[in-house]
Amino acid sequence: AQLAAATKRDEDPAFHDAKIATARFYAEHVLPQAAALEVAIVSAKGGEGVLALSEDQF
């Protein structure tokens, strides 16, 4: 996997570096919010709307 990644990076370093930066941002800023967002969506009155939908409606 590292060899494949290194080969891809050599083809387009700017694109590869942008992907790494995007993944780091997501991991540091978006992912930590996931548990709190789940609570806000499915708990108490916040869950009534989303839980009223069947799986097919998503």
Tens digits of residue pLDDT in 1-55: 777 777 777 888 899 999 999 999 999 999 999 998 888 777 767 667 777 788 8
Question: Comparing C-alpha atoms, which of 10, 34, 14 is closest to residue 22?
Answer: 14
pTM of the predicted protein model: 0.54
Q: What is the per-residue pLDDT for 46?
A: 60
Is 16 exposed, middle or buried, given 0-12, 13-18 or 19+ CB atoms closer than 10 A?
middle
- The pLDDT value given to residue 55: 83
Count of the separate structural domains present in the chain: 1
| Domain around 45 | 2-57
pLDDT of residue 53: 80
Q: What is the pLDDT of residue 44?
A: 66
- Are the C-beta atoms of residues 41 and 32 closer than 8 Å to each other? no
Cα separations in angstroms, 58 against 22, 35, 40, 48, 49? 27, 20, 18, 15, 12
